[in-house]
Structure 1
Amino acid sequence: MARPANPQTHARLVGTGGDLVRRQGFHATGVQDVATAAGVPKGSFYNYFATKEGFGLAILDAYWEEIERDHLARLDDRRLNPADRVRAFFRGLSQMHADTGFGPGCLIGNLALELGNTSDPVRERAALLLRRWDAALAACLEGAQADGTLQSGLEPAALAAVLVEAFEGAVMRAKVERGPTAFARFEALLSVFLPKRPKTT
């Protein structure tokens, strides 16, 4: 009889395993590597994940939960106007990458590039998470359009997708260059669409 799953062990496998995959890639990270990092026997891995692909889906979901908790909440911060929320959101993400030395990159983008042609489940999950990101950003851009910060001729949903795509490109460039210059360029691009309002006295 299989031993019942332990939530703490599952969390360690996903947490430490996800960190390994972000740093060294999915294919370069073996099941033994994940198990060792989590402090469990290799065989225990399969008590939690039927396949390594299933593990990939789990670490994607956990990464997205972290993004939702630590970053997407900024888009709902009613203390700021919508444009400032968008700026705060992207600055928070940029800082997250700076804090890790720019090397690990974005797990969604990493797995999409590494497994997009070989794993439909991972590709579809990555696409779903990007659409969720688009939707959350579009809702905030609609608010910016309503208050006149974002010009009326732009479509918030389309602009949200473009900004996500541009930011993911900046993440890749920062990963290659190990520096923040790409994020500075992204922020300059963002200011074209969402110019800062002059302070009123």
Structure 2
Amino acid sequence: MPHVCGVPEKGGGIMARTRNETQFNEARQRLLTLGEDLIRSRSYADVGINDVLNTAGIPKGSFYHYFDSKQEFVVAVAQHYHAKQLAAAKALLCGAREPAATRLKRFFQTSLNDYRKRGFIQGCLMCNLTTELADEAPTFNQLLQTQFAELSAVIAACLHDTDLSPLGLAHLTIEEAADWLLNGWSGALTRMKATQDSTPLDLFMKSVFKGEA
């Protein structure tokens, strides 16, 4: 009998191969990272499975060892991206003794600097996927809503017990102010993809952080 699925056990049976978890996880992580870059610079619809595999240097046909479908893949990419964004937001916005407005400005400025390094041609993955998929995939819509809500909650925590007047948001609750800031930034990021420069992001910064150096 050919040993197609493993090596022979004592007594003539077949012992399944043990998957190398380190190699598997490294390859999966590489697919997520490259998938994020491709989808951000192009679109979900425009990126095929073979595009990701070819860029990752992983043999064609191997995709389904890691993901059951392209939709499962993009959900995993979105979760991978969101985890990084949430960790970065918490690091910049939470726990410091600096004024909330200072932390908040640094948070948005750090993001702006990242887009500058990317030449303003890669938008926010969450914004891009919301525009492209939210109407077509209710399950994905719910995932995006949850991710935006989690990011907004980190911003709200930063603003807790803070005077919102300098930001021009005193008429809002803390939660509303956090949502407004996230909505405004997301809109600026969407328009940035059209202008391919910092103009929309600069206007957001100038509008929110009035009179600050």
Output the TM-score relative to the length of structure 2.
Answer: 0.83
Within 1, Cα distance between the matches of 2:170 and 2:42? 44
Contact 1:22 1:104 in 2 (8 A): yes
Asked if residue 24 in structure 1 is aligned to residue 42 in structure 2, the reply is yes
Asked if residue 66 in structure 1 is aligned to residue 68 in structure 2, the reply is no
Aligned pair in 2 of structure 1 residues 152, 101: CA closer, same or farther (>3 Å)? closer
Identity in percent: 29
Q: What letter is aligned with 1:95?
A: N
Correspondences of 1:35-54 after superposition (within 5 Å): 35-54=53-72
Q: Could you tell me which residue of structure 1 aligns to residue 124 of structure 2? A: 106
SS at match of 1:139: helix
Asked if residue 155 in structure 1 is aligned to residue 184 in structure 2, the reply is no
Q: Could you tell me which residue of structure 2 aligns to residue 167 of structure 1? A: 185
Q: Could you tell me which residue of structure 1 aligns to residue 196 of structure 2? A: 178
Structure 1 unmatched runs, 5+: none
How far does the alpha carbon of each residue in 1:1-31 deviate from its partner, in whole angstroms, 9 at most, with x for none? 6974610010011011111111111111001
How far does the alpha carbon of each residue in 1:32-59 deviate from its partner, in whole angstroms, 9 at most, with x for none? 1111111112221111111111111111
Contact 1:104 1:175 in 2 (8 A): yes
Runs of 4+ in 1 over 4 A off after TM superposition: 148-153
Correspondences of 1:85-100 after superposition (within 5 Å): 85-100=103-118
Report the RMSD for the aligned CA atoms in angstroms.
2.2
Contact 1:71 1:92 in 2 (8 A): no
Asked if residue 8 in structure 1 is aligned to residue 26 in structure 2, the reply is yes
Aligned pair in 2 of structure 1 residues 104, 152: CA closer, same or farther (>3 Å)? closer
Q: Could you tell me which residue of structure 1 aligns to residue 13 of structure 2? A: none
How far does the alpha carbon of each residue in 1:87-119 deviate from its partner, in whole angstroms, 9 at most, with x for none? 111111111111101111000011111111111
Within 2, Cα distance between the matches of 1:128 and 1:120? 12
Aligned pair in 2 of structure 1 residues 94, 110: CA closer, same or farther (>3 Å)? same
> Number of matched residues?
194
Q: Could you tell me which residue of structure 1 aligns to residue 12 of structure 2? A: none
Q: What letter is aligned with 1:15?
A: T
Which one has a bigger Cα radius of gyration? Answer: 2
Output the TM-score relative to the length of structure 1.
Answer: 0.88
Q: What letter is aligned with 1:93?
A: S
